[in-house]
Structure 1
Amino acid sequence: MTGFQLQYPQDRELTGGDLLAQCLKYAGVEVAFGLHGGHLDAFLMGCEAVDIRLIDTRHETVAVQAAEGYSRISNKLGVCFVTANSGFSNGLAGLATAYGDRSPIICITSSPPLRDTENNSLQGSIDQVVAAQPVTKFAHRVVVPEECPRIVSHAIRVALSGAPGPVLLDFPIDVLFSPIQPKLIAWGSIASPFLFRPGPSEGALKAAVELLASAKRPVIITGTGAKHPHTREVINKLAETCHIPIFNSSKYASFDPKSPMLSQGTAGNLAKLPLINIPPPDLIILLGARTGMFLGGRSGAIIPNEGCKLLQVDSDGSEIGRSLPVDLGIISDVDAFVTAMNSRVTTVFQRRVDRSWVESVLGVATLESPFEKEPKEAHSGALHPYHAMKQVMSAIEPGSIIVLDGGEASAWAADLAALSQPSVVITSTGYLGFLGNGFGYSLGCAIADPDRKVVSIHGDGSAGFHLMELDTYKRFNLNIMTVIVNNSSWGMSSNGQDIVYGSKHPARLVSALNPQTQYELVARGLQNSASKVSRISDIHDTVTKLQAEQGPSCINLIVDRKPVHPITTAMVGLTDDPNFVVVPYYDNVPRAYHKL
């Protein structure tokens, strides 16, 4: 087999677990996240033999999400492992978010011996392949150890091609522990180079150039499909040549490399234009960004419903026109499309763009917040969440990776994240709105880029899901600072109830948390440096001090539940029109009959 050389252990036979580990290593895998189970021991021993680094977490969901976070920052395949049935069931939540957010990961699991199928054996109740199929691009049980290279290479290609996503391979324990017969190995395409990603046709490029040439107020919006550093460079070049402002989607905001055309605010700032009498865009170019909740849905707030053309470029053709009509849809890798466009456009496009409009649009992110002049402390004595988060962001080391997890807590942080001059801002909750993801994402980011500091922003609600991972951070001595924005409530839930039901119904059902919880004491018990901060004057120095230390840290930041963040008000969508039914967090629907 050209290029692939089997490595034989000195003290034991070569097993299916060894072959699996060697296949992953040959494919470029350097690290795997997971939690131990005896079913996996042959694979884990194989990983150690070929120097695949094993990062063990305290919960399987976090292991899968760490593989996601690792993939986001490294631009490589993320790998995780979970044991049979119990571990797999915990990992399903991670697979679901990876599927929803198009994260290329491969999940390795195991199951009882083939002979014990339907035998009421240990950890054998659930058919893992069947259970995983709805939330993966590919799920398969490998029943012959020698088939491993063929199936692994196929699974990796599925995970990385088209719309990326998770795949799952189930290796029964006897397959992992069985000795290999080298002559029977099905190599498949394990040693073949990966194919080039799809590019645009000449006709598509011509149409895109014509569409751009007709625009006076164009805007580029980027998503996770445009996260690779080289892709960001070619997008910056296109934007600077044609004088087009760039906005990140709030789901994944990359600020490195920088460009004078890159807005310091996310695409949500486009919704502010009508409020400050700035005309809306007349062309929006979506590059690897999906329409839907992160771009205002069908409301027209971010992508105007009228007077604006839409050019959408995505590697997944099913995403083009999914929720909004497009004037030009191109199925292509974003890098390939933008690189081709750069060879076709010149600075003549700058003269067609309304330069004063561009400057106004880019300046929206620096406009003073309506909360700036509000008192730094609320009537309760707790800190105003805007002012508290402003102090946090102003003290964070430039170039850090910021991970957002929570409802209103992450919204306040997202509004002010640019103050920290971050490398990347990742909204970990994703399309599933999955709280608790930030722990795994932060772990994966820290392993992928250990030279950067990672700041994990949580509400006290999301912090409760996987707080024990602070132990994982310490065991690997990772530079992750966890900030718990503590308002003793599920803030978005409670404030949403306030908006819908008001003072007539003062009860706020299942939305309160314990104001006496001392997260900083838990963090210290897990050997993290930690502080409780309840005064605005203490925030900057505390953040600076903790982030300067080697290893993990935690801040319990005491803030008030008020004011309501504007995103909550917008998402609830309360209206006085009696002929509409308010459907919180979605578009309101017309009544089936007129209310008299």
Structure 2
Amino acid sequence: MALELKQPSHRELSGGDLLAQCLRQLGVEVAFGVHGGHLDAFLVGCAENDIRLVDTRHEEVAIQAAQGYAKVSHKAGVAFVTANSGYGNSLPGIATAFADRSPVVVVTSSPPLRDAETNCLQGSLDQVVVATPMTKFAHRIVQAEEIPRLVAHAHRVACTGAPGPVLLDIPIDVLFRPVQQDQISWGSITAPLPYPPRPHSHAIAKAIQSWKSAKQPAIIIGTGCKSTEAAQELSKLLETTQTPLFHSQKGFGGLPVDHPLQAGLAANLAKLTGESQPDLIILLGARTGMFLGGRSGAILPNKRCKFIQVDIDGTEIGRQIPVDIGIIADTHQALISFNEEIEKSPFQVPSRWVQTALGPRKEPDPHESQEALIDGRTHPYFAMKELFSSLAPGSIISIDGGEAGSWATDLTEVARPFLSLFSAGYIGMLGNGWGYSLGAAVADPSRQVINIQGDGSAGFHIGELDTFARHGVNVLTVVMNNHIWGMSKHGQDLVYETTATVRPISSLSPRTSFHTVSEGLGVPAAKVHNLDFIRPIVQKLSAVHGPALLELVISDKPIHPGTIAMVSATKDPDWIVVPYYDNVPRPFFKHTKR
């Protein structure tokens, strides 16, 4: 079925017009990017077809903003970057989108086809070749008439199965030249996305049987349970079975923080030892790996525990742990199937186990007994807790930074957010939160977005405050400033103790004034040293129409427990410490004292 084309009033329909109209047909309402002359035909087409253009100060942030938009809107994000230079800047964003399964359509351009291999302007990289290993689909469109077919295909690839980024490279001459309308290949441009897959009925029946037999089952959810529809089915499932629910570090969402079966971060499972560990864990759209304790067995027990894993990507099932029942399905559809099967024969898990599983979340945090001031500066735990308790419920929290992000993750529930996003993702890339916050704010302007940054991560893209100001987004940026790369310096402290006299390149300047930079970029700001001033300043900045920034000066002394756990420092001479991964035994020989 053909798209009803909108003919420009004073010129011929160009490839750029056709591209914009195809994206609009697919439901695209906004695109993030940085201007480049190669793209003008497309950008004019967007402006004339009601696609909002949000221009950032860096192409990496444009891709990250498309990711944030996708995670909040549950639709594909769209980003545009110009040839070679802009495209090169976008690569870290594309890599993160690939690792974190973000459905992003990246539009780029390139020199005219006739200028291939002539050392022309911005023609050095073969952009499709570079993109192929870190996208689900990358293609150069060389005929304007093929745009609808290939755009529809790229959009379906980005959004179906395990979501991910796709790239379309459309040379400048293809975008600017007139389209032969009678030669257009429409493909499925007007067709809706296919329905997501439901699970196999035998797999569901077998999973329920195993669930009923378990004495201590638990559920861990990942990013696949954050849609409103999935949350409704999840709530119904929990109400029927009374199974405790944990969520991965990838972000809070799906259930209110005060839900009686909300057990908090999956890391709380590490506090359940011996006979108190689960004997069955159901992974719902939660990928194994770094966010679930890797191979350590701390979060996902190595012994006595069975696993049911539901994932839309079959290659994720059993990737790291032995899985007893693997189910390839959309998480929402799997929840529907679980509920339908359980309605035939309802059951509830033992209440004694529920209380055990919920126990770690109810335990007082050990930091509560520590001093709020250390050498005259606020302890980061108390600063973050006061910040989050000062926010109105229902915000979207984007968490960036190393130890700043760790403190924020631990205390997220204090803010009673609607949703939280861990922007560093599987790649662990700092600075992503600027784009995530922008995309989230554009996707849902009704909510305040909190952009948590450390003073290290803040430095990557602080120029985006200009973007926030120009577009008037409701983002409160919070920079936790302790004048160091916290995880780096503290990691060095743990590994080298007193044996090294220096801590190489782990310090930052105490002279850096983030609130001054913010005000210079047109964003109201404040700097706070005193714990007592955090609440009134947060409330004042939250009342600002548009973006604001709060710089919180905190102590550099406390080491976050997560850093200690990741570094795994040991004095055992027969083991080699490999920070942030599993330690390895000393090869070939045992250490002996002389």
Among residues 355, 366, 374, which one is paired with 2:362 in the alignment? 366
Among residues 433, 441, 450, which one is paired with 1:446 in the alignment? 441
1:365 CA displacement: 1.8
Among residues 369, 372, 377, which one is paired with 1:376 in the alignment? 372
Residue 595 in 1 paired to residue 581 in 2?
no
Among residues 427, 430, 438, which one is paired with 2:425 in the alignment? 430
Contact 2:430 2:457 (8 Å CA) reproduced: yes
Residue 337 in 1 paired to residue 337 in 2?
no
Which residue of the partner structure matches residue 64 of structure 1? 63
Residue 457 in 1 paired to residue 456 in 2?
no
Residue 508 in 1 paired to residue 507 in 2?
no
Q: How does 1:141-220 map to 2 (within 5 A)?
A: 141-220=140-219
* In structure 1, C-alpha distance between the alignment counterparts of 2:583 and 2:232, rounded to whole Å: 40
Listed one character per residue, the Cα deviations across residues 215-267 of structure 1 (whole Å, up to 9, x for unaligned) are 12111111112221111111111111000111111112105556734426211
Which residue of the partner structure matches residue 269 of structure 1? 268
Residue 412 in 1 paired to residue 411 in 2?
no
Which residue of the partner structure matches residue 324 of structure 2? 327
CA gap 1:347/1:393 in 2 versus in 1, 3 angstroms: farther
1:354 CA displacement: 2.2
1:529 CA displacement: 1.2
Among residues 312, 319, 341, which one is paired with 1:315 in the alignment? 312
Contact 1:377 1:384 (8 Å CA) reproduced: yes
* In structure 2, C-alpha distance between the alignment counterparts of 1:458 and 1:129, rounded to whole Å: 33
* In structure 1, C-alpha distance between the alignment counterparts of 2:362 and 2:390, rounded to whole Å: 18
Output the amino acid matched with 1:70: Y
1:590 CA displacement: 1.5
* In structure 2, C-alpha distance between the alignment counterparts of 1:249 and 1:523, rounded to whole Å: 33
* In structure 1, C-alpha distance between the alignment counterparts of 2:120 and 2:160, rounded to whole Å: 37
CA gap 1:264/1:395 in 2 versus in 1, 3 angstroms: farther
Residue 286 in 1 paired to residue 283 in 2?
yes
Listed one character per residue, the Cα deviations across residues 329-361 of structure 1 (whole Å, up to 9, x for unaligned) are 11111111110110111496544x221221232
* In structure 1, C-alpha distance between the alignment counterparts of 2:294 and 2:546, rounded to whole Å: 40
Residue 77 in 1 paired to residue 76 in 2?
yes
Among residues 464, 474, 477, which one is paired with 2:472 in the alignment? 477
CA gap 1:303/1:288 in 2 versus in 1, 3 angstroms: same
1:270 CA displacement: 1.1
Listed one character per residue, the Cα deviations across residues 402-446 of structure 1 (whole Å, up to 9, x for unaligned) are 010011001111111111110111100000000000000000000
Which residue of the partner structure matches residue 293 of structure 2? 296
* In structure 2, C-alpha distance between the alignment counterparts of 1:471 and 1:363, rounded to whole Å: 45
* In structure 1, C-alpha distance between the alignment counterparts of 2:497 and 2:570, rounded to whole Å: 13
* In structure 2, C-alpha distance between the alignment counterparts of 1:370 and 1:493, rounded to whole Å: 23
CA gap 1:256/1:423 in 2 versus in 1, 3 angstroms: farther
- Tell which deviates more after alignment, 358-367 or 82-91: 358-367
CA gap 1:309/1:264 in 2 versus in 1, 3 angstroms: closer
Secondary structure of the corresponding residue to residue 208 of structure 2: helix
Listed one character per residue, the Cα deviations across residues 548-592 of structure 1 (whole Å, up to 9, x for unaligned) are 221111111001112100000000011233222111000111221
1:100 CA displacement: 0.4
| % identical aligned pairs | 54
Contact 1:239 1:261 (8 Å CA) reproduced: no
Secondary structure of the corresponding residue to residue 575 of structure 1: coil
* In structure 1, C-alpha distance between the alignment counterparts of 2:261 and 2:44, rounded to whole Å: 47
* In structure 2, C-alpha distance between the alignment counterparts of 1:315 and 1:69, rounded to whole Å: 21
Contact 1:236 1:261 (8 Å CA) reproduced: no
Moved over 3 A (4+): 255-259, 346-351
- Tell which deviates more after alignment, 455-464 or 576-585: 576-585
Secondary structure of the corresponding residue to residue 344 of structure 1: helix
* In structure 2, C-alpha distance between the alignment counterparts of 1:175 and 1:556, rounded to whole Å: 47
* In structure 2, C-alpha distance between the alignment counterparts of 1:540 and 1:310, rounded to whole Å: 44
Secondary structure of the corresponding residue to residue 425 of structure 1: strand
- Tell which deviates more after alignment, 231-240 or 340-349: 340-349
Which residue of the partner structure matches residue 482 of structure 2? 487
Contact 1:30 1:53 (8 Å CA) reproduced: yes
Q: How does 1:515-554 map to 2 (within 5 A)?
A: 515-554=510-549
Secondary structure of the corresponding residue to residue 435 of structure 2: helix
Contact 2:230 2:254 (8 Å CA) reproduced: no
Among residues 557, 562, 568, which one is paired with 1:567 in the alignment? 562
CA gap 1:385/1:258 in 2 versus in 1, 3 angstroms: closer
Contact 2:526 2:550 (8 Å CA) reproduced: yes
CA gap 1:255/1:160 in 2 versus in 1, 3 angstroms: closer
Contact 2:226 2:254 (8 Å CA) reproduced: no
Which residue of the partner structure matches residue 129 of structure 1? 128
Aligned length: 591
Listed one character per residue, the Cα deviations across residues 176-218 of structure 1 (whole Å, up to 9, x for unaligned) are 0010111100001112232211111111111111111111211
Gap runs ≥5 in structure 2 = none
Output the amino acid matched with 1:77: A
* In structure 1, C-alpha distance between the alignment counterparts of 2:289 and 2:260, rounded to whole Å: 24
Contact 2:198 2:333 (8 Å CA) reproduced: yes
Contact 1:494 1:512 (8 Å CA) reproduced: yes
Which residue of the partner structure matches residue 581 of structure 1? 576
- Tell which deviates more after alignment, 353-362 or 132-141: 353-362
Output the amino acid matched with 1:117: A
Output the amino acid matched with 2:368: E
Secondary structure of the corresponding residue to residue 371 of structure 1: helix
Contact 1:242 1:346 (8 Å CA) reproduced: no
Output the amino acid matched with 2:57: R
Output the amino acid matched with 1:340: S
* In structure 1, C-alpha distance between the alignment counterparts of 2:250 and 2:83, rounded to whole Å: 32
Secondary structure of the corresponding residue to residue 525 of structure 2: strand
Residue 306 in 1 paired to residue 276 in 2?
no
Contact 1:256 1:424 (8 Å CA) reproduced: no
TM-score scaled to structure 1, two decimals? 0.97
* In structure 1, C-alpha distance between the alignment counterparts of 2:239 and 2:296, rounded to whole Å: 30
Which residue of the partner structure matches residue 494 of structure 2? 499
Output the amino acid matched with 2:403: E
Contact 1:255 1:422 (8 Å CA) reproduced: no
TM-score scaled to structure 2, two decimals? 0.98
Which residue of the partner structure matches residue 30 of structure 2? 31
